[in-house]
């Protein structure tokens, strides 16, 4: 986050009058970075209170199942500063986080931060590829539907999108598992019911990559359909908003073909909100993957959440909560910076 200069005054002074545009952006970006920092602090406070104040004795809840004797409880309290007043506890909590110490998982007997790093990649692979596919297809559908509003394509795609939007994505996943992994009646299933690899797959070979892709097909399709509905509806909405704009009439009056008016003039303007939503949604990586990873048994952060939930492993849950909130804040910032770059009007 330190990439962008945070001090707007310094930027403005340095830029001078011939670089007005950039000083405007610098100020805008500075404000957004400060806002993100505020959110980050707030998130840490919420996190601290959620896990320390609400559930009674924190030593008991945080160390449930692992600490049985009074001596152990006492030592645990001292290590994590739980015997100190709340203010000092918060400082200890911040110090630990800065040092990357997110506590110790009772479920895995391992440091939480190590587990999180291990589990990040499957989630990024799953959510990343779904987001890209959903953005491409969703925007394409939204453009076609929004441009020919009321056409058969529009009515069909909007109906489908709304239905997908009303569906719990994991239920759609269950239906796909039942149909394509288990098989209906005499039809055999063609995809695996879960997991990320076959047991006998050999890492580093082409076969391994194909095997992973084969395992990820159904979950990626599920998540893509879930996201796609969102993007298609937003893209359609913002293209419909551009209808009847003067600049489109001008473009038509110039004698441009309809497809050119759409692609060169209508779409670039309508693309703005959708771009932001795609960037924003990426922050919800963990949240989106929780149920899908659970039903497809993909060993990512989502499955980790349900595993931690079953114990319950509070340290692990806290780590996941921290990571996912930080993800949202960073994605928010990225979306804001991108929007400010693409649309100078919001910089004021």
Partner 1 sequence: MSTTAPALTSRQLTRRRRRAAWARGWREFRGNRAGMVGLVILVLFVAIALAAPLLADQSGLEVTKATGGVLEPPSSSYWLGTDDNGRSVLTLLIWGSRISLFVGLMATLISMLIGTVVGLTSGYFGGFSGGALFRLTEWFLAIPFLPLAIVLATVLGRSLLNIVIVIGVTSWPGTALLIRAQVLSIKERTYLERSRALGAGHRHLIRRHVLPNVIPLVFANTTLCVAVAILSETTLSFLGLGDPTRVSWGSMLDDAYSVGAITTGSWWFFVPPGVCVVLVVLSFTLVGQALEAVLNPRLRER
According to CB under 8 A, which one of 12, 43, 125, 256 is a site residue for partner 1?
43
Task: Kindly state whether residue 151 participates in binding partner 1, applying the rule CB under 8 A.
Answer: no
How many Cβ atoms are within 10 Å of 337's Cβ, its own excluded?
Answer: 19
Task: Kindly state whether residue 290 participates in binding partner 1, applying the rule CB under 8 A.
Answer: yes
Q: Is 272 exposed, middle or buried (0-12, 13-18, 19+ CB in 10 A)?
A: middle
Task: Kindly state whether residue 125 participates in binding partner 1, applying the rule CB under 8 A.
Answer: no
SS (H, E, C) 166-208: CCCHHHHHHHHHHHHHHCCCCCCCCCCCCCCCCCCCCCCCHHH
192 φ/ψ angles, rounded to the nearest 5 degrees: -70, 150
Task: Kindly state whether residue 177 participates in binding partner 1, applying the rule CB under 8 A.
Answer: yes
According to CB under 8 A, which one of 72, 245, 249, 306 is a site residue for partner 1?
306
Task: Please report, as residue ranges, which positions from 311 to 330 form the binding site for partner 1 (by CB under 8 A).
Answer: 312, 317-318, 320-321, 324-325, 327-329
What distance lies between CA 250 and its chain's CA centroid? 39
According to CB under 8 A, which one of 242, 294, 296, 315 is a site residue for partner 1?
294
From 20-28, 40-48, 204-212, 254-262, span contacting partner 1 (CB under 8 A):
40-48
Q: Give the count of residues interacting with partner 1 (CB under 8 A).
A: 52
Structure tokens given for 213: 């892709």
Structure tokens given for 190: 């063609």
Q: Round the CA-based radius of gyration of the chain to a whole number and report it.
A: 25
Helix (H) or strand (E) holding 41: helix 20-52
Task: Kindly state whether residue 46 participates in binding partner 1, applying the rule CB under 8 A.
Answer: yes
Half-sphere exposure of 176 (CA within 13 A, CB side): 24
Helix (H) or strand (E) holding 99: none
Task: Kindly state whether residue 130 participates in binding partner 1, applying the rule CB under 8 A.
Answer: no
Task: Kindly state whether residue 86 participates in binding partner 1, applying the rule CB under 8 A.
Answer: no
User: For 297, left (φ over 0), alpha (ψ -120 to 50), or beta?
Assistant: left
- CA distance linking residue 30 with residue 324, whole number of Å: 23
According to CB under 8 A, which one of 58, 266, 283, 340 is a site residue for partner 1?
283
- CA distance linking residue 105 with residue 320, whole number of Å: 11
Task: Kindly state whether residue 149 participates in binding partner 1, applying the rule CB under 8 A.
Answer: yes
Task: Please report, as residue ranges, which positions from 179 to 208 form the binding site for partner 1 (by CB under 8 A).
Answer: 182, 184, 193
Helix (H) or strand (E) holding 104: strand 104-105
β 110-111/104-105 pair status: antiparallel
As a whole number of Å, the end-to-end CA separation of the chain is: 22
Task: Kindly state whether residue 245 participates in binding partner 1, applying the rule CB under 8 A.
Answer: no
Q: How far is the CB of 78 from partner 1 (least distance, A)?
A: 24
Nearer to partner 1, 228 or 328 (CB): 328
According to CB under 8 A, which one of 4, 7, 35, 120 is a site residue for partner 1?
35
Q: How far is the CB of 255 from partner 1 (least distance, A)?
A: 26
Task: Kindly state whether residue 291 participates in binding partner 1, applying the rule CB under 8 A.
Answer: yes
Nearer to partner 1, 256 or 330 (CB): 330
Nearer to partner 1, 121 or 165 (CB): 165
CB of 289 closer than 8 Å to CB of 123: yes
From 160-168, 210-218, 223-231, 252-260, span contacting partner 1 (CB under 8 A):
160-168
Contacting residues toward partner 1, per CB under 8 A: 35, 38-39, 42-43, 46, 50-51, 54-55, 149, 162-163, 165-168, 170-171, 174-175, 177-178, 182, 184, 193, 237, 240, 243, 283-284, 286-287, 290-291, 294-295, 305-306, 309-310, 312, 317-318, 320-321, 324-325, 327-329, 332
């Amino acid at each position: 986050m330190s990439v962008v200069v945070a001090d707007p005054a310094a930027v403005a002074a340095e830029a001078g009058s011939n670089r007005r545009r950039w000083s405007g952006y610098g100020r805008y970006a500075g404000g957004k970075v400060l806002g993100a920092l505020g959110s980050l602090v707030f998130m840490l406070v919420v996190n601290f209170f959620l896990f320390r104040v609400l559930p009674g004795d924190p030593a008991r809840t945080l160390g449930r199942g692992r600490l049985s004797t009074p001596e152990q409880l006492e030592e645990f309290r001292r290590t994590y500063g739980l015997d100190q007043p709340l203010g000092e506890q918060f400082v200890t909590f911040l110090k630990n986080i800065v040092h990357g110490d997110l506590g110790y998982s009772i479920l895995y007997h391992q440091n939480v931060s190590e587990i999180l790093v291990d589990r990040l990649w499957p989630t990024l692979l799953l959510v990343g590829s779904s987001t890209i596919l959903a953005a491409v297809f969703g925007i394409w559908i939204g453009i076609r539907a929004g441009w020919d509003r009321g056409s058969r394509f529009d009515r069909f795609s909007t109906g489908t999108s709304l239905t997908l939007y009303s569906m719990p994505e994991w239920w759609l996943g269950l239906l796909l598992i039942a149909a394509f992994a288990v098989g209906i009646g005499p039809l055999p299933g063609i995809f695996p019911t879960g997991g990320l690899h076959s047991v006998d797959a050999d890492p580093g070979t082409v076969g391994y990559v194909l095997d992973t892709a084969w395992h990820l097909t159904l979950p990626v399709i599920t998540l893509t359909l879930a996201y796609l509905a969102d993007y298609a509806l937003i893209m359609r909405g913002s293209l419909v908003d551009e209808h009847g704009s003067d600049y489109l009439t001008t473009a038509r009056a110039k004698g441009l073909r309809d497809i050119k008016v759409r692609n060169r003039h209508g779409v670039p303007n309508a693309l703005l909100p959708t771009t932001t939503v795609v960037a924003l949604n990426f922050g919800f990586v963990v949240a989106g993957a929780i149920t899908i990873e659970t039903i497809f048994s993909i060993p990512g952060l989502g499955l980790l959440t349900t595993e931690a939930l079953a114990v319950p492993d509070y340290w692990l849950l806290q780590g996941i909560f921290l990571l996912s909130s930080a993800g949202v804040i960073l994605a928010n910032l990225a979306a804001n910076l991108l929007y400010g770059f693409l649309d100078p009007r919001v910089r004021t």
